Amino acid sequence: MGRNGFGFGGETRMVLRVRGVVAAAATVGVVGIAALFAPSATAATVLRAAPAPAQAPGGWAPADSAPIRPGVLTETAGGGACTANFVFTSGNRVFLGQAAHCGGTGQSTETNGCDSGTVPLGAAVTIKGADGRDRTGTMVYSSWVTMQADGESDPDTCAYNDLALVEIAPGDVPDVNPSIPFFGGPTGIDSDGLAPGEQVYSYGNSPLRLGISALSPKVGVSAGDIGNGHSHVVYTLSPGVPGDSGSAYLDAKGAAVGQLSTLNLSPLPVSNGVGDIAGELQYANAAGGLGDVELVLGTKPFDPTPAGVSPQQLAAPAGPPLGAS
């Protein structure tokens, strides 16, 4: 039963991770789609968001032209291709967030972070800059690596804690901006979950979209929370696909809800599971060894209806009936 009274009524859940497989650009989408259908293998007590906005040394790059920002593609060596979610800081260190399962080494059906295969900390992560130039970051935190090292046993935490942090090289920090493309924000951290029917906003960057930017922004609707608030079930007009994993989700006020984690095949078909960034950040601060990690707020104001955008593009899907089970 979730924080907002939504549950699956004891039905068996079937979920898949939606990272893409790192491969040549011409084949990554095909491999990612094949993996989808192959047989296979609590709210934070202290929520921190850096001042609006925190400043990188020399200031953040302009939102509309920053090469490194939420929404860029990341490729983890030995893992998969994903979409970056938010920017974080700890002291003078700057991190780009992605899903922990982006470093997964197993099948797409391996969704338990406490026993799934994963690359180690220190893995190189290629950041596909919006300017067409690649940068190299380092995975310095993974909830999967941390939970396995610490012997985590809580089933909800194991199933849904899915956050990794990629440290930006100091020389590349001037190229970073924390704003979500298209919508702007984040404006803070959502800490009370998503009630059924709440709208959500996201920006995916899967290679399957073939670089068509109009397909990246998505508006969706919540079907409620599961895992005692550790995860949020959402529907968007087009679901998150391989390569969208890790992409940011905002609520109707522009606050950070979490990151795309799973594609759900049952009991609510073609919905997505979104991790809870409030709880994940609390876990990282308690066990990650990086000091006081903070979410950085966007320099660009949140706007759910950007000027010049067709209302049809921003329409939320009807989805199945929503509400308490």
12-28 mean pLDDT: 45
Average pLDDT, the chain: 80
Note the pTM of the prediction, 2 decimals.
0.82
Does residue 251 sit within a domain? yes
Question: Is 90 exceeded by the pLDDT of residue 188?
Answer: yes
Residues 249 and 28: their CA atoms lie apart, in Å, by: 24
Confidence at residue 220, expressed as pLDDT on a 0 to 100 scale: 87
35 pLDDT more than 60: no
| Burial (Cβ within 10 Å: 0-12, 13-18, ≥19) of residue 289 | exposed
% of the chain surpassing 70 pLDDT: 70
Q: Can the peptide bond before residue 320 be classed as cis, meaning omega within 30 degrees of 0?
A: no
In a domain, 158, yes or no: yes
Report the C-alpha gap between 6 and 116 in whole angstroms. 27
Closest CA to 194 of 224, 214, 216, 172: 224
DSSP-assigned states of every residue in 161-179: ---EEEEPPGGGGGGB--P
Where residue 257 sits, what CATH number does that domain have? Answer: 2.40.10.120
CA neighbor of 130 nearest in space, from 83, 79, 191: 83
Residue 325 lies in a domain: no
Which residues, 6+ apart, have CB-to-CB distance to 262 below 8 Å? 15, 16, 17, 18, 111, 272, 273
Looking at the 3D structure of the chain, how many domains does it have?
1
Any domain includes 143? yes
- Give the mean model confidence (pLDDT) for residues 256-267: 84
Mean pLDDT throughout 75-90?
A: 96
Q: Indicate if the pLDDT at residue 74 is higher than 90.
A: yes
Residues 6+ apart with CB under 8 A from 229: 2, 3, 42, 43, 193, 276, 279
Task: Output b/e per residue, 2-17; b: 16+ Cβ within 10 A.
Answer: bbbebebeeeebebbb
Sign of CA dihedral 53, 67, 167, 23: positive
- List pLDDT tens digits, range 198-220: 999 998 766 655 455 555 688 88
Residue 319 included in any domain? no
Highest mean pLDDT among 32-36, 38-42, 104-108, 226-230: 226-230
| Greatest Cα-to-Cα distance within the chain, rounded to the nearest angstrom | 53
Q: 104-152, pLDDT tens digit by residue?
A: 998 888 889 999 999 999 999 999 999 999 999 999 999 999 999 999 9
- For the chain, how far is it from start to end, CA to CA, in angstroms? 9
pLDDT (0 to 100) of residue 240: 63
3-class secondary structure, 41: coil
- Asked whether residue 5 is domain-assigned, the answer is no
What is the C-alpha separation between 181 and 72, in angstroms, rounded? 9
Q: Please give the residue range of the domain that contains residue 96.
A: 14-314
Residue 2 in domain: no
Q: What is the strand order of the sheet 294-295 is part of?
A: 20-21, 80-83, 73-76, 124-128, 134-142, 164-167, 93-98, 87-90, 294-295
Of the candidates 250, 244, 162, the one whose C-alpha atom is nearest the C-alpha of residue 201 is: 250
Whether pLDDT at 7 is above 50: no
Segment (H or E) for 37: helix 28-37
pLDDT tens-digit series, residues 285-311: 999 999 999 999 999 999 988 766 555
Tell me whether residue 247 is in a domain: yes
Query: What pLDDT is attached to residue 236?
Result: 82
Count of Cβ atoms closer than 10 Å to residue 91 Cβ: 10
